[in-house]
Amino acid sequence: MTGSKQEQLQAIISDLRSAIPDLRGAMIATVDGLPIAQLFTDNTDGNRVAAMAATALGLGKRINDTLGTGDLSEMSVAGLDGQVYIYAAGRKGVLAVVAPSGMNIGLLNMEARDAASRVTSVL
């Protein structure tokens, strides 16, 4: 992949949205909670989402450490109108994906895990 890291990461988000057009949004952030690349269908505040995704990832890691379940790879938060999936992207990044209710979770996980792997290689 060519271009700056920012361009490469934005391309990963764009590719994910192309693969799953029903997504309500996707974001790549640092583990410190800083947004790097994002694409939302509404006026979602990327700074807030980045901070919350990084916090959730940190909490998930602590839960896994406490319970001895190994390194955190992903986690989800479900609501009545959709789900948020958070994927670890190496030691430096986090991928957050917002999906509507009824989403094909197998397809989502396949595409998002691939995207998280690509983010890891860029970061």
Instruction: Kindly give, in sequence order, each residue whose CB lies less than 8 Å from that of residue 24, ignoring residues fewer than 6 positions away.
Output: 40, 41, 42, 82, 98, 99, 100
Q: Are 110 and 116 in contact (CB under 8 A)?
A: no
Tokens of 121: 């290689």
Q: In the beta sheet, which residues pair with residue 100?
A: 82
* Per-residue pLDDT reduced to its tens digit, 4-29: 988 999 999 999 999 999 999 999 99
Q: Which residue stretches of the chain are H helix?
A: 5-19, 46-67, 105-122
Q: Which domains does the chain have, with CATH numbers?
A: 5-122 (3.30.450.30)
By CB neighbour count within 10 A (0-12 exposed, 13-18 middle, 19+ buried), where does 71 fall?
A: exposed
Give percent of the chain with pLDDT exceeding 70: 98
Entry pTM: 0.89
